[in-house]
Amino acid sequence: MKKLAILVLGEQESGKSSVWYSLFEPGIRTGKYLRLLDLGKNDAGKVMLVEGKEKIDVFLINGSPEETGVTVEERLEDVDARVVLCSTQYSHDARQTMDYFIENEYEVSVYWLNPGVSDTRSYFDYEGLAQYLMFTGADVRMCEGAESLHTSRKVLEKIFGWASYNL
């Protein structure tokens, strides 16, 4: 079974949660169950469908494992999620989160908020995370934290494209 992990990577207050708020609703939190994500419409205004459906089951981890102290493995223990959306704190400990998805054969797509909302400029990848991820075959994109609507649109397009071929 193919699986997809979408990681929104950034420092504290970079705008990670804002991406999820744009996809769902303001204030949405990590749940215990799968939730439906509305795929919306493409740039041409056509409704995006996967298997004739406008919504797809996803599991959201809003509140990075690095900040909350609850690992991805613990969050997903009783959940059969083919698509996981996960906030990830830019830190050395982020590798544990990334390794979980890589070792469990998820296709990994990372949206690195750099600069983040609270940053005055982009910062150097001092943890070497981008290079590490690309070496493992992950798709890594840099996005501006202040453009959460644009980033959420790119996330939707990625999920739609992946689901069109893998569900």
Question: Over the stretch 57-70, which tens digit does the pLDDT of each residue have?
Answer: 999 999 999 999 99
Q: pTM of this prediction?
A: 0.93
Quick one: tokens of 81? 């999620």
- Cα(76)–Cα(26) distance, integer angstroms: 23
Q: Given this structure, which CATH class describes domain 3-116+135-166?
A: alpha beta
CA distance between the termini of the chain: 9
Question: Over the stretch 98-142, which tens digit does the pLDDT of each residue have?
Answer: 999 999 999 999 999 999 998 989 999 999 999 999 999 999 999
Element (H, E) at 141: strand 139-143
pLDDT at 2 over 70: yes
Q: List the chain domain ranges.
A: 3-116+135-166
